[in-house]
């Protein structure tokens, strides 16, 4: 089978997930990896038998064997790296979040449009089995019109590596909202088939993080929120309540779901279930796929290669990713300025 030759940019924690994903995709082949920490790039290259490991991005971008890149580095470098890659003619799949600001995200899309190069946000949850099954049922009309949704990812105690780029606003763009909220927001709007927000009202908190010993030790390097809540109004009148935490006093260690409330039924994503009135009484149905799933591989990596080989239409569109970034920007602006942000 013909393979797309991939260069991996970023050999950190999640870079290994990308490497595993491309290794499993039959139509992709990892030919190079780069990380500013050369040792990490070399270790990952050894573990995944990747022929070339580089200590800087430019050398990877100059490598003519690389057709496309997968970017998985700290958020602050996403936009600039995607633009540089496209300028050298490489197609790009970028891990979330898109950028630190809508302006930066728009620059990326402008560059992709100008050069006619494939650029895609690699939103992994879109390809999950549950998402695909629920999407099929929603498209078939089982939920009716979705007028409200709740999307949340709430960790009781799950700050990722205090003191690293994750907890520094200049490098991450924010805390759990941009780190976790972005996933649930994207998949929620995708399931609603509605990427048309008109306003956002939000609040962010940093109540619990300062109490952590490791945060006190890290001092000024924890300057993001530990919990965020937002109400998003859509143009058609629908509303979305979005919440994300790294720290929150709650019963479970982790709560994560998209709950859709429609005119015919309610639907939850994890696990994928329908709640509705039936002749025999109120019923709760575990949904199964009505037919073969559209992305039976459940892999954003294989999908990216499929797109580059002309076998699939890009699932995550530029407009959708810009809408998600617009909302995230507005969440932080609303919280900062203590007011509703209308678009």
Q: Which residues of the chain form contacts with ligand NAD (CB under 6 A)? A: 9-15, 35-37, 40, 57, 72-75, 77, 95-96, 124
Cα pseudo-dihedral 55, 57, 62, 68, rounded to 10: 120
* Least distance to ligand NAD, CB of residue 290, Å: 28
276 with 186: CB under 8 angstroms?
Answer: no
Closer residue to ligand NAD, CB minimum distance, 261 or 304: 304
With beta carbons less than 8 A apart as the criterion, state whether 164 and 297 touch: no
Supply the minimum distance, in Å, between the C-beta of residue 170 and ligand NAD.
Answer: 13
Q: Cβ of residue 124: shortest distance to ligand NAD, in angstroms?
A: 5
CA distances from 39 to 14, 43, 123 (A): 16, 6, 28
CB-based closest residue to ligand NAD: 12
Nearer to ligand NAD, 162 or 265 (CB): 162
Nearest approach, Cβ of 272 to ligand NAD (angstroms)? 19
Question: In the complex with ligand NAD, which residue's Cβ is closer, 75 or 299?
Answer: 75
> Which among 55, 61, 52 is positioned nearest to 92, based on CA atoms?
61
Q: Which two tokens stand for residue 151?
A: 């999307």
Cα-atom radius of gyration of the chain, to the nearest Å?
20
Q: Between residues 58 and 283, which has the closer beta carbon with respect to ligand NAD?
A: 58
Cα(first)–Cα(last) distance of the chain, in Å?
47
Quote the least distance from Cβ 175 to ligand NAD, whole Å: 12
Peptide bond into 97 cis (omega under 30): yes
CB atoms under 10 Å from CB of 256, counted, come to: 17
Query: Which residue's CB is nearer to ligand NAD, number 15 or number 181?
Result: 15
- Least distance in angstroms from the C-beta of 158 to ligand NAD: 12
Residue 68: other Cβ atoms inside 10 A = 22
Please, which residue, 72 or 149, has the CB nearer to ligand NAD?
72
CB of 173 to ligand NAD, least distance (A): 9
CA angle, corner 13, sides to 190 and 301, nearest 5? 45
Q: Which is nearer to ligand NAD, 95 or 329 (CB)?
A: 95
């Amino acid at each position: 089978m013909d393979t797309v030759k991939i260069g991996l940019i970023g050999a950190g924690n999640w870079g290994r997930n990308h490497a595993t994903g491309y290794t499993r995709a039959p139509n992709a082949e990892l030919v190079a990896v780069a990380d500013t920490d050369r040792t990490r790039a070399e270790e990952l290259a050894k573990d995944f038998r990747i022929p070339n490991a580089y200590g800087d991005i430019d050398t990877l971008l100059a490598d003519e064997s690389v057709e496309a890149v997968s970017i998985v580095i700290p958020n602050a470098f996403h936009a600039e790296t995607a633009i540089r890659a496209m300028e050298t003619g490489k197609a790009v799949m970028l891990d979330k979040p898109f950028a630190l600001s809508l302006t930066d995200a728009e620059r990326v899309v402008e560059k992709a449009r100008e050069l006619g190069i494939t650029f895609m946000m690699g939103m992994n949850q879109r390809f999950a089995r549950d998402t695909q099954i629920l999407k099929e049922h929603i498209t078939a009309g089982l939920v009716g019109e979705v007028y409200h949704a709740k999307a949340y990812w709430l960790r009781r105690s799950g700050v990722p590596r205090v003191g690293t780029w994750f907890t520094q606003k200049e490098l991450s763009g924010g805390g759990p909202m941009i780190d976790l909220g972005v996933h649930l927001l994207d998949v929620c709007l995708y399931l609603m088939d509605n990427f048309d927000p008109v306003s956002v009202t939000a609040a962010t908190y940093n109540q619990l993080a300062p109490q952590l010993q490791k945060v006190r030790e890290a001092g000024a390097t924890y300057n993001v929120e530990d919990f965020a809540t937002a109400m998003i109004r859509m143009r058609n009148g629908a509303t979305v309540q979005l919440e994300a935490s790294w720290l929150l006093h709650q019963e479970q260690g982790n709560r994560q779901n998209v709950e859709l409330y429609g005119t015919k039924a309610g639907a939850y994503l994890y696990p994928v279930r329908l709640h509705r009135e039936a002749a025999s009484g109120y019923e709760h149905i575990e949904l199964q796929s009505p037919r073969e799933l559209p992305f039976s591989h459940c892999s954003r990596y294989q999908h990216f290669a499929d797109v580059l080989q002309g076998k699939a239409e890009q699932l995550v569109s530029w407009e959708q990713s810009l809408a998600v970034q617009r909302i995230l920007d507005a969440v932080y602006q609303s919280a900062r300025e203590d007011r509703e942000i209308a678009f």
